[in-house]
Structure 1
């Protein structure tokens, strides 16, 4: 599994957090119980299988929900 941290534009409501969590949990290759949206920090932490999905697809999934990704980084060898 690969770990990623994505910085988003400021989240304005708790329902944003739930919408992002739901969307990522439905993304193939994302470890569902690893998805954590940090509301106050406007960050998303997620573990994923690089054989099934890459960071660009995760970013696109979040952006398709209407939340711009400012930056992202991957921690290898998680």
Structure 2
């Protein structure tokens, strides 16, 4: 398992958390998602044999959130 941390542009509403958690939680290869509202960060645990951090970033971007950086 790998873990990626994605810094987003400031999250403006708590419903953003659910939107991201549901979208990533339904994706094969992602086992855990935590969205930190106060820090505007997403932490995801994933199986690198199924999905990679670039794919996770694209999923978040497709939801309309701007990514500032990924680790």
* Contiguous gaps of at least 5 residues in structure 2: none
Q: Distance in 2 between matches of 1:55 and 1:68?
A: 15
Partner of 1:36: 34
Alignment of 1:48 onto 2:46? yes
Q: Distance in 1 between matches of 2:38 and 2:48?
A: 28
User: Could you tell me the TM-score, scaled by structure 1's length?
Assistant: 0.88
Give the superposition deviation at 1:26.
Answer: 1.2
User: Could you tell me the TM-score, scaled by structure 2's length?
Assistant: 0.97
Q: Distance in 2 between matches of 1:68 and 1:22?
A: 18
Give the superposition deviation at 1:38.
Answer: 0.1
Q: Distance in 2 between matches of 1:47 and 1:60?
A: 16
Q: Distance in 2 between matches of 1:68 and 1:55?
A: 15
* Contiguous gaps of at least 5 residues in structure 1: 74-78
1:59 aligns with one of 57, 60, 64: 57
* Higher-strand-fraction structure: 2
